[in-house]
Amino acid sequence: MRLTVLTIFALLSQWRKSPFQLVLMVLSLSIASALWSGVSIINKQARVSYDKAGSLFERSKVPLIVSSEKNYFSDSLFGELRTAGILVSPLISGSLRIATRNYEVLGVDLVSQKSNYLGFLSNSNRFLEFIQPPYKIIVNDLTRKNLFQHSLFPEIEINNSLADDTIIMDISAAQNLLNKKGLISRLELYSPEYDVNQSFLTKNSLTILSSDSGEDFEKLTRSFHLNLSAFGFLSFVVGIFIFYSAINLAFEQKRKIVHLLSVIGISKSIITVSIFTELLLIGSIGGILGSLLGYFLALLLLPDVSGTLRGVFGVPMKSSIVLPWSLWLINFIIVICGVLAASLSYQIKIHKAALISRNTHNVSVASSQKSARLLSYIGILILLVGFIFFYFFSQSLELAFSFLGCFLIGFTLLLPMVLLNTITFLSFFTRSITAKWFFSETKTQSHLLNIALMAIVLAFSINIGVSGMVNSFKDTFTSWLDQRLAAEIYLRVPSQKYSTNVLEFSEANGGEVLPIYGTNLRVHDYPSTIYAFKPHATYRKHWPLMQCLKSCWDDIEANNGWLINEQLARKLNVEIGENLVINLPVGNLEKKVSAIYSDYGNPKMQLMVPIDFFIENYPQLKPTTYAVRVNKKKINSFISAAKMQFPFDGSWITDQNSVKIASLEIFDKTFSITNSLSILTLIIAGLAVFSTLVTIGEARRSQLAPAWAMGITKLNLACQEFLRSLILAIVSIMFAIPLGVAISFILTKYVNVSAFGWELPISIHLNDWVKLSSITISILTISILAPLLRNNIKTTQSFLRTFNNE
Amino acid sequence: MNNLIHVAVTILFMATANGIQSKSLVYTNEYPDEFARVDEDTKIVFPRDHGDHPKFRTEWWYITANVEDSKGNPFGIQWTLFRSALSPEVSNDGWESNQMWMGHSAVTTSTFHFFSEKFARGGVGQAGVNISPFKAWIDDWSFAGDWKDGSLKASGDFFSYDLTLSSKKPIVLHGRNGVSQKSFEGTKSYYYSQPFFKIKGSVEINGKTHEVSGNAWADREWSSQIISDSQIGWNWLGLHLDDESKIMIFEVKGDDTGSFFSGTRIYPDGGSKALKAKDFTLRPINSSDLGNKNVQLHWEIIVPSEKIAITISPINPKAYMETSIPYWEGPVILQGSHSGTGYLEITM
Amino acid sequence: MNLRNILTVKDLSKRYSKTGSEITLDCINLNVSQGSTIALTGESGSGKSTFLNIMAGLEPPSSGEVFFNGVSLWKITEAERCKFRRSELSIIFQNFNLINSLTVWENISFQAKLSGKWSASFAEHLLNRTGLTKIRNSYPDQISGGEQQRAAILRSIIAKPQLLLADEPTGNLDDQNSDVIIDLLLKLVSEVGSTLIVATHSQSFASKLDQTFSLKSGKLKS
């Protein structure tokens, strides 16, 4: 034991001499795990929100009103909603610790509750026992056994349809027990959603969770979370890459110490254990730092993420983070596993080298070619696997991402071979010995820089790919918005009873009013929405139809054909002209699909029907939102007149421009997250290059020492090194560009379609490539230059050491 | 709401209204007599007594109205808010409150009868009565104003109404200074009315809106034991005669003993005279039109001293309140020495 | 034999400031005439390598001067010193004399081509003589230590330097290989007419050279 401790100290002493290397390794691990843990925090946070929607005693079949900010809100809002005519019933839930057990307490108000899931009260006595002290509770058999004769609950009734450790009681008792007097968790909403005054919700930070939200949230946002996870994972991989290259390059120094230790008489097993422990230590520090960084990163990104989720998907998400410690632990374990995996070959080499002392740092040309070839074979294999995924993927999001991943990694693994061949090709054009030497040294450098360069290729191509997709999106979306938002003014009345007044006002002021309203509908058991539209020239002229049968609008308005969005067409796999049966309140209707319109950004499927037909199906619904067409010059006067006439709260009336800006903002938010992550990965890759160059610095100098001895100036040598790295970097970037384009293509045509159900046309922005290339090359130039800017004397000493050692 | 709870709560109301105390109601076993009692020496004071009296077991705010639309079609309107105390302790605020509230509303025409029922717990803002400004409400139903000018709103699945009330005449106290005896055993309640309301506004039935106007009658009553153990229900009539005078008559039926009769004759200036059993007769008239529940809907009232001899008949015999505990309540017309309109209530 | 001095060392001192006032070389004076072969002996750590490094222009002295063909080596710029090393000087170490990414042939031509004194025929001739033809296309890590040093010597000689410095060239080799290297070195040096200074702790090696100096406590003695 003592020997092991001493050995570990000896090993750690290496870092005292070169602390910078250690810092680099820990830093790379921290940043890698920071992005990964940051993303998993965000994803977990979202999942908690979805669970809130579904974590009812019974999956909620009615919409819920919850706070968008906190877990509990004032129960006075119950009374306010009821007196406004909205039928709601309060629930409070929370965790209660009794003895050593946690129980889930659910407090209900049986009087306002609509559902009959308990169905146990059959006379007034039992009802009174429930709502009056000492408050009878309902539990199942097992829970009753656990609560046996607890003083808190003298009256217990059994209902075995309840889950374990769940206690149902009156809301008053629950509030007291949970120490949440005056608070409730949620309100079940029995009135139609549109009856609830929007400004009331906003003022009280409330939001409505639609009834099928629980599981549908998961479905809808899956792609979003997958996106985030993919980035987190990528960063993690790149970080581990850096660690891998760093630890292997530090091997040389370690080897000397290890050799010495074994010569002294420390056994192989102690050395192996000590190495392992040292790695664990480094991994732990990196992991802990990374988790902390990840937490702050999540805090930073969370507002954007919740904005996206709220805006695009209608999902409420808290902006504050609640973290179970299990998340920290899992992240930590993942980092340790990554570290151990990355250092596996290193540990094996050390184990072998314990007795044999041989300088393995000087890479031979032959061996570098061998390894490059090996990597490219593996790369081709992975590409093949990827194409198999592709062949089978048909709309599965996970398979599409897997294909993307395989394509990315497989292609990247071809880089070493490509670099070697490019250098060989370039050296054909040289005559002088120095040029020849330049290129042969470049090959050596390339082998040592392989991993860092592959990280650059990964990060860069993803940046190109994602920015390509984002640009296509922005282009298409902007022009699509122009089509969708064809009306000049949009307004929303706070309640149906004002509809008539506003309509009359609009028409009196020269506006043509088009109602906008709809409701949820299940089409072939998928969550969809159905909207009414008033037949009007506006739609014929502007509606963004992707495909349209001859005289489609005539058919649609005459109720002889369906008008559906792209998502619905893709999901149900129907084309123009095909027959489609949809179940509506008036019955099962079969019509042909007359037209399909593009509906970017909408995660749901949608169909539109003429307003008369809509009213037939939903006579009780009345619109509260309207589009108004007025003469462009009259927009402002209309809006100010309307605002004076109707003193409604909030921005109930807006013009087309404002709506467009708001819509674009939401999408900017969505992609800003991806953008930030992209740039971060690029920086990490730059760090990879930097750390690699620093680590191999000493070895490189020993390679260059003979040349210096022969009379080549240090400046010359430094410039050569710089040029070598730069050439390698530039070739890598050029290699990455077509990869990036391919990724952009795959993302837009396959991944996006799988995730969202809509497809964008691809547009190429060359100046984006130029911008990204310049950024990357700048990052790389700094990464390459920095290690070369060493003290002159130090370099000389380094060279001399080479000759005078051994 | 859960039907079973419906039943449970209403039994509660009816039970407390009838003074029935179930042995398994844990709290009342211990304090059977601790609810407040009606005391003849306590004067009724306004506006304080428009509000609720939580220490009394039962209470209500009861408005009925007889109106007509522009074509002369008759409508009957009912708006009722009941309060029941579950225990005699001082009520806490919030969900721990021991007060329960129930609302009934209805609209009756010769062809339609629509009603609605609501329940609420007290102390949480869902239902209650405010004294100043005066408002009695449950959910979005409300009777508000100051008892001189006010509003009346309610709605159900197929109907809604939004009416205004006004009266310049004083409030009428029944019995002796507002203490109204209900049984031979001496059970009583505090009871006052405002029968002189003029009401108008809009009533919507089945999607059609009608502008109506007419007379309305507001009853206020509270007690901890209204009828005695030997009594089983009552018949109540509140009538608007065509000379702007009013009359209130009730008969509380006993199972073995005879019925207890009482009433109030109200004059157009607001003055009133108590009617004892010997002062009038209330007699059911044979009629083939009994509805399907054997409920007596045709009556004859004779008050010799007031020279009143009228017959009562319902506008719509099917005005059953199919609420958790059903009863019959609907608009009636008077014929005979006087004509007019009014409301009949029969508990079964 | 009136040969001019190719190398003159005047009052050369070297101190390592890190260790305080430890003096490695203390006021050394030396005159080396062209074409002579000199052995520099001393124990390990006596400063032989440091002395050679300073003469080669690799490491600066703390005080004193080194004149090479009349030029004070440490009063010129680094670039000019490098020029000297390319064309007039050659230095062989114990190891790491070859560039690992170049073949043997490329290695031996490297310095000569740098200084423009390359002669392919001369190189071929020497390659044959030293028996290295078979490995001309091999890389340094593929040949033995002895072969590496022979190649190193070739590289130096083919560049036809005026002065050849060698720091323990046989330090890593066994006796048999050492003798081969020593003989090769001496023969080639005399053929090309270079001046040779060798740092060695081998007395037998030193005895084959014209003069012997020893370094002790930083002072040079003959």
How do residues A308-332 score in pLDDT, each as one tens digit? 665 555 555 555 566 667 777 777 8
**B264 band by pLDDT with thresholds 50, 70 and 90:** very high
pLDDT value of residue A71: 78
Whether B15 has a pLDDT exceeding 60, the answer reads no
Euclidean distance between CA atoms C139 and C101, whole angstroms: 7
How do residues B131-146 score in pLDDT, each as one tens digit? 989 999 999 999 999 8
Whether A450 has a pLDDT exceeding 50, the answer reads yes
From A198-212, C177-191, C196-210, the region with the lowest mean pLDDT: A198-212
How do residues A492-514 score in pLDDT, each as one tens digit? 776 666 777 888 888 888 888 88
Whether A688 has a pLDDT exceeding 80, the answer reads no
Rama region for B307: left / alpha / beta (φ>0; ψ in -120 to 50; rest): left
**A56 band by pLDDT with thresholds 50, 70 and 90:** very low
Whether B150 has a pLDDT exceeding 80, the answer reads yes
Euclidean distance between CA atoms B283 and B300, whole angstroms: 5
Which residue in C64, C213, C97, C100 sits closest to C164, CA to CA? C97
Whether A806 has a pLDDT exceeding 60, the answer reads no
Contact B12, B20 (CB under 8 A): no
Euclidean distance between CA atoms C72 and C83, whole angstroms: 14
Per DSSP (E only), the strands in A493-646 are 512-523, 526-533, 545-548, 561-565, 579-584, 587-597, 605-610, 625-629
Average pLDDT, chain A: 79
Euclidean distance between CA atoms A643 and B105, whole angstroms: 37
pLDDT value of residue A394: 62
Euclidean distance between CA atoms B189 and B186, whole angstroms: 10
A697 or C214, higher pLDDT: C214
| CB-based contact, C110 to chain A, within 8 Å | yes
B101 or A388, higher pLDDT: B101
Which residue in A710, A703, A712, A723 sits closest to A788, CA to CA? A723
Contact A646, A638 (CB under 8 A): no
Q: Residues B23-36: what's their mean pLDDT?
A: 44
Which residue in B63, B73, B341, B340 sits closest to B205, CA to CA? B73
Locate the chain A residue with the closest alpha carbon to C159: A710
pLDDT value of residue B291: 56
> Which alpha helices (DSSP H) does A428-511 contain, by range?
433-484, 499-508
- Report CA dihedral (C215, C219, C220, C222) to the nearest 10 degrees: -90
Per-domain residue ranges of chain A: 62-210, 485-660
How do residues C27-76 score in pLDDT, each as one tens digit? 888 888 888 999 998 887 778 888 888 888 888 888 899 998 888 988 88
- Coil, helix or strand at residue A782: helix
User: At CA B189, angle to CA B183 and CA B190, rounded to 5?
Assistant: 145
Contact C188, C153 (CB under 8 A): yes
Task: Indicate the burial class of A320 (C-beta count within 10 angstroms; 0-12, 13-18, 19 or more).
Answer: exposed
pLDDT value of residue A377: 92
Q: Are A365 and C101 in contact (CB < 8 Å)? A: yes
pLDDT value of residue A48: 60
- Report CA dihedral (A183, A188, A190, A193) to the nearest 10 degrees: 90
The label of the residue with tokens 């009346």 reads B152
Euclidean distance between CA atoms A539 and A634, whole angstroms: 21
How do residues A371-384 score in pLDDT, each as one tens digit? 889 889 999 998 99
Euclidean distance between CA atoms B152 and B161, whole angstroms: 8
Which helix or strand (DSSP H or E) is residue A21 part of? Answer: helix A19-54
**Chains in contact with C, counting 3 or more C-beta pairs less than 8 Å apart as contact:** A
Q: Residues A254-258: what's their mean pLDDT?
A: 76
pLDDT value of residue C45: 73
From A551-560, A612-621, B25-34, the region with the lowest mean pLDDT: B25-34
Contact C32, C7 (CB under 8 A): yes
**A601 band by pLDDT with thresholds 50, 70 and 90:** low
Which residue in B237, B78, B66 sits closest to B155, CA to CA? B78
How do residues B47-64 score in pLDDT, each as one tens digit? 999 999 999 999 999 999
**Which of A803, A804, A805, A806 is the best mutation test for C, with the most CBs of C within 10 A?**
A803
Q: Residues A229-238: what's their mean pLDDT?
A: 71
Contact A324, A280 (CB under 8 A): no
Q: Which two tokens stand for residue B240?
A: 């608007």
Backbone phi and psi for residue A19, each to the nearest 5 degrees, phi listed first: -65, -25
Whether A142 has a pLDDT exceeding 60, the answer reads yes
From A52-66, A79-93, A425-439, B233-247, the region with the lowest mean pLDDT: A52-66
How do residues C109-128 score in pLDDT, each as one tens digit? 888 888 888 888 988 988 88
Euclidean distance between CA atoms C217 and A699, whole angstroms: 33
Which residues, in sequence order, are bridge partners of residue C89? Answer: C163
Q: Which two tokens stand for residue B138?
A: 């449950």
CA distance B95 to chain A (A): 5
Q: What is the longest distance spanned by two Cα atoms in chain B?
A: 59
How do residues A121-139 score in pLDDT, each as one tens digit? 445 677 788 888 888 898 8
Q: Are B124 and A75 in contact (CB < 8 Å)? A: yes
Q: Are A710 and C85 in contact (CB < 8 Å)? A: yes
Domains and CATH numbers, chain B: 2-31+46-347 (2.40.370.10)
Q: What percent of chain B has pLDDT over 70?
A: 88
Contacts 24+ apart (CB under 8 A), A764-773: A764/A468, A765/A467, A765/A468, A765/A471, A768/A464, A768/A467, A768/A468, A768/A471, A769/A464, A769/A737, A769/A740, A772/A460, A772/A463, A772/A464, A772/A467, A773/A733, A773/A737
Q: Which two tokens stand for residue A434?
A: 């120095």
From A351-360, A646-655, C147-156, the region with the lowest mean pLDDT: A351-360
Residues of chain C with C-beta less than 8 angstroms from the C-beta of A803: 49, 93-96, 167
Euclidean distance between CA atoms C85 and C87, whole angstroms: 6
Task: Indicate the burial class of A728 (C-beta count within 10 angstroms; 0-12, 13-18, 19 or more).
Answer: buried
- Report CA dihedral (B91, B93, B97, B100) to the nearest 10 degrees: 100
pLDDT value of residue A321: 60
Residues of chain A with C-beta less than 8 angstroms from the C-beta of B119: 111-112
Rama region for A394: left / alpha / beta (φ>0; ψ in -120 to 50; rest): left
pLDDT value of residue A452: 82
DSSP B192-247: EEEEEEEEEEEEEETTEEEEEEEEEEEEEEEES--S-TTEEEEEEEEEEETTS-EE
Partner residue opposite C97 with nearest CB, options A364, A365, A706: A706
Q: Which two tokens stand for residue A532?
A: 């009414």
Average pLDDT, chain B: 86
Q: Residues A156-184: what's their mean pLDDT?
A: 86
Please state whether beta strands B272-276 and B260-266 pair in parallel, antiparallel, or not at all (unpaired): antiparallel
CA distance A11 to chain C (A): 26
Q: Residues A230-236: what's their mean pLDDT?
A: 71
Q: Are A84 and B140 in contact (CB < 8 Å)? A: yes
Whether C195 has a pLDDT exceeding 80, the answer reads yes
Euclidean distance between CA atoms B330 and B64, whole angstroms: 9
CA distance A706 to chain C (A): 5
DSSP C150-162: HHHHHHHHHT--S
Which helix or strand (DSSP H or E) is residue A41 part of? Answer: helix A19-54
Q: Show Cβ contacts of residue A326 under 8 Å, excluding neighbours closer than 6 positions.
A: none
Locate the chain A residue with the closest alpha carbon to C171: A806
Residues of chain A with C-beta less than 8 angstroms from the C-beta of B126: 78-79, 82-83, 112
Contact A308, A251 (CB under 8 A): no
Whether A161 has a pLDDT exceeding 90, the answer reads no
How do residues B174-212 score in pLDDT, each as one tens digit? 999 899 998 888 888 999 999 999 999 999 998 899 999
Euclidean distance between CA atoms A618 and A430, whole angstroms: 81
CB-side exposure of A133: number of CA atoms within 13 Å? 11
Residues of chain C with C-beta less than 8 angstroms from the C-beta of A719: none
Q: Show Cβ contacts of residue B26 under 8 Å, excluding neighbours closer than 6 positions.
A: A128, A129, A132
Contacts 24+ apart (CB under 8 A), A408-411: A408/A458, A408/A461, A408/A462, A408/A739, A408/A743, A409/A379, A409/A382, A409/A458, A410/A379, A410/A380, A410/A381, A410/A382, A410/A383, A410/A384, A410/A385, A410/A386, A411/A379, A411/A383, A411/A739, A411/A742
| CB-based contact, B15 to chain A, within 8 Å | yes
Contact A386, A402 (CB under 8 A): yes
pLDDT value of residue A344: 78
Q: Which two tokens stand for residue B196?
A: 């002189």
| CB-based contact, B309 to chain A, within 8 Å | no
How do residues A779-794 score in pLDDT, each as one tens digit? 888 888 888 887 667 7
User: At CA B99, angle to CA B98 and CA B103, rounded to 5?
Assistant: 155
Q: Are A709 and C58 in contact (CB < 8 Å)? A: yes
Q: What percent of chain A has pLDDT over 90?
A: 12
Which residues, in sequence order, are bridge partners of residue A493? Answer: none
Euclidean distance between CA atoms A735 and A721, whole angstroms: 21
pLDDT value of residue A471: 74
**B335 band by pLDDT with thresholds 50, 70 and 90:** very high
Q: Residues A35-60: what's their mean pLDDT?
A: 61
Which helix or strand (DSSP H or E) is residue B302 part of? Answer: strand B299-303
Q: Which two tokens stand for residue B157?
A: 């699945």
Contact A251, A349 (CB under 8 A): yes
